[in-house]
Amino acid sequence: MLTEPILTSRAEDGRDIPLLVWRADGPLRAVSSGPLGGGIGVRQWVLNATVPMSYDRDDPAGHLAALAADLALDGPGVGLLTGVDVTEVVARTDTGVRAWATVGLGTPVLAAAPVPAALTQRVGTVNIVVYVPARLADSALVNAVATATEAKTQAISELGLLGTGTPTDAVTVLCPVDGPEAAYGGPRSTWGAPLARAVHAAVLAGGDRQVVPWSDQLTG
């Protein structure tokens, strides 16, 4: 089981910077596109860390691993980064599936559109964390990532934005290591359908309000 996230902070460059920590009460199967702990494997925690919009470290995985060590997070986990103030996390539940999203849509892009000469540096990361209360096969985990992405894109469309996401979005899906294995994670499957609804609701709610980058909040 994945607990509700705990809001904490870290001291960095003389500032207290917020971060969210999810802890599991035991090992969980996971799939993630995060810079730390990406891929498929067993994970025990998730960290979603706010960073300033000026963030330019070329070792995000190492940075996240150091943050995890400072928080005494044991074992393998997933680390995510965002310019969004993670205190603005939105959570939604559907049929036992729990989804959390930190939503920054300042830089929406169409995935297959030509790359512009320069991107406006606005808060533009959607980080999605999902817990499914049933064991998913590897193929179902991968399918669940696609389903979450489709649901996110549906929400972005309904918000009236021309984009399928942002350049730096990440998705993490976790589930138990034991129990009967579900073979499918698509939007009409037993667990993919509530996953899609929960993610859609979380991103829609998170995107339907003004989101100011955390570093902009410091300067008013």
Q: How far apart are CA 208 and CA 200, in angstroms?
A: 12
Note the pTM of the prediction, 2 decimals.
0.94
Per-position pLDDT tens, the chain of length 220: 999 999 999 988 788 899 999 999 999 999 999 999 999 999 999 999 999 888 888 999 999 999 999 999 999 999 999 999 999 999 999 999 999 999 999 889 999 998 775 655 555 799 999 999 999 999 999 999 999 999 999 999 999 999 999 999 999 999 999 999 999 999 999 999 999 999 999 999 999 977 766 666 655 5
What pLDDT, on a 0 to 100 scale, did the predictor assign at position 13? Answer: 77
List all residues 6 or more positions away from 203 whose beta carbon is below 8 Å from its beta carbon.
90, 101, 103, 126, 128, 151, 152, 155, 156
Give, in degrees to the nearest 5, the angle at Cα 85 between 58 and 157.
Answer: 95
What pLDDT, on a 0 to 100 scale, did the predictor assign at position 55? Answer: 84
